[in-house]
Amino acid sequence: MIEEINTELESRFKKHLRGTLSRSNKMRSKNVHVTDLTPPCSRQTWYYRKREEPERDDGLIGILFMGNIVHAAVPLTKRNEVPFIADVRNMKPLTNLNEITDVNTYDCVSGTADEILEYKGEICIVDKKTYSSKRGWNPKEPDESYVWQLNIYKLLMYITEGVEAKYGAIFYMDVATRLEKPLIFTMELKPIREIQEYALKKLDQLKMLVPPEKTITWKCKYCPWNPSKGGPCDVTSAEVLEATRKK
Ligand code: SF4
């Protein structure tokens, strides 16, 4: 009986974590979200949008869940969790997700910036990230996809509020050390025209009826669509090894 109660509690715990994460994923599944445009490989996002996502491992579920908690519990500015929606093809602000239809899905992007910091007359868009140093990874520089994420928030803010943020910051928190010391990477953001071109290129790739070209990077190792994980992508292990060597 004691064993059974242990198992029952553990199973309820895992179900709660997975249930919470899948509910928050479903809420944004139809529209193109900022994070759909940021991974280096658009084919990866294309699969995420077209197929049922494979099961995530418990370690990753824990990090994502902690991320949600920490995001809500650590506000750094007066403007946090700021939602944006805009038609980035026509540079038009939108006020409601209902304005995104089957016709304009791939013109529009929605997303929520974690923090908008106003400091000495300048605007800095901040995105908080959690990671676990226990998993053997410590950021030495901001991940490129996170840098694009900040830039796309800049584009959305510019379209919806007419304000051009000059700076962005990635604020990494290590859950393995109980948030002991954040790693912060502040940077100047890109020009509006360059960000719009990038976003439109990504939207056009996601709009395709067939999977877009693959972009092979070291991240393929962790991609659920990799054939080594039973996924449909035709990337080979030799190609991934080569990309990892070049990293
Ligand atoms: S395995 Fe690599 S190339 Fe294939 S979809 Fe995933 S990230 Fe893209």
* Ligand 1 pocket, residue 42 CB under 6 Å: no
Count how many domains the chain has: 2
111 CA → ligand 1 middle, Å: 24
pLDDT for position 24: 58
Where would I find the H helices in 162-236?
192-207
Residue 229 shares a structural domain with residue 133: no
Tell whether 3 is covered by a domain: no
* Ligand 1 pocket, residue 41 CB under 6 Å: yes
The CATH number given to whatever domain includes residue 144 is: 3.90.320
Residue 158 shares a structural domain with residue 226: no
Residue 110 shares a structural domain with residue 221: no
pLDDT for position 25: 57
Name the residue at shortest CA distance from atom 4 of ligand 1. 233
Beta bridge partners of 92: 87
pLDDT for position 164: 97
* Token digits of residue 27: 């809420």
Write down the mean pLDDT value for the chain: 91
Q: Where are the beta strands (DSSP E) in 30-182?
A: 79-87, 92-93, 108-119, 122-131, 167-174
Tell whether 65 is covered by a domain: yes
Atom number in ligand 1 closest to CA 46: 5
The band of 29, judged by pLDDT with boundaries at 50, 70 and 90, is low
36, 42, 43, 53: residue to mutate for ligand 1 pocket, most atoms within 8 A of CB: 43
235 CA → ligand 1 middle, Å: 7
CA 106, CA 159: separation in Å to the nearest integer?
16
Atom number in ligand 1 closest to CA 234: 4
* Ligand 1 pocket, residue 225 CB under 6 Å: yes
Residue 244 has pLDDT above 60, yes or no: yes
pLDDT for position 117: 97
DSSP-derived 3-state class of residue 140:
coil
Residue 167 shares a structural domain with residue 226: no
Atom number in ligand 1 closest to CA 211: 5
Residue 44 shares a structural domain with residue 128: yes
* Token digits of residue 106: 């791939």
Beta bridge partners of 116: 79, 125
CA 187, CA 141: separation in Å to the nearest integer?
11
Tell whether 35 is covered by a domain: yes
Reported as a single tens digit per residue, the pLDDT across 186-242 is 999 999 999 999 999 999 999 999 999 999 999 999 899 999 988 999 999 999 999
Residue 179 shares a structural domain with residue 226: no
Q: Mean pLDDT check: name the lowest of 13-27, 43-57, 135-149.
A: 13-27
Tell whether 5 is covered by a domain: no
- Provide the domain limits for residue 170: 14-209
DSSP-derived 3-state class of residue 125:
strand
Closest CA to 150 of 131, 172, 167: 167
Residue 26 has pLDDT above 70, yes or no: no
Higher pLDDT, 140 or 160: 160
* Ligand 1 pocket, residue 233 CB under 6 Å: yes
Residue 122 shares a structural domain with residue 224: no
Where would I find the H helices in the chain?
2-26, 42-50, 58-73, 144-161, 192-207, 237-246
pLDDT for position 222: 87
Residue 101 shares a structural domain with residue 77: yes
Residues of the chain with pLDDT > 70: what percent? 97
Q: Mean pLDDT check: name the lowest of 16-25, 60-69, 127-136.
A: 16-25
Closest CA to 33 of 188, 145, 189: 145
Name the residue at shortest CA distance from atom 2 of ligand 1. 220
Provide the whole-model pTM. 0.90
Tell whether 7 is covered by a domain: no
Tell whether 70 is covered by a domain: yes
Tell whether 57 is covered by a domain: yes
34 CA → ligand 1 middle, Å: 19
Burial bucket for residue 27 (CB in 10 Å: 0-12, 13-18, 19+): exposed
43 CA → ligand 1 middle, Å: 6
Residue 28 shares a structural domain with residue 103: yes
CA 142, CA 150: separation in Å to the nearest integer?
11
43 near 233, Cβ under 8 Å?
A: yes
CA 130, CA 205: separation in Å to the nearest integer?
29
Name the residue at shortest CA distance from atom 3 of ligand 1. 214
Residue 68 shares a structural domain with residue 186: yes
Helical packing angle, 144-161 and 192-207, nearest 10°: 110
Residue 77 shares a structural domain with residue 191: yes
* Ligand 1 pocket, residue 220 CB under 6 Å: yes
Reported as a single tens digit per residue, the pLDDT across 170-187 is 999 988 888 888 999 999
* Ligand 1 pocket, residue 169 CB under 6 Å: no
* Ligand 1 pocket, residue 240 CB under 6 Å: no
Region of residue 190 (phi > 0: left; psi between -120 and 50: alpha; otherwise: beta)? beta
Residue 174 shares a structural domain with residue 237: no
Tell whether 196 is covered by a domain: yes
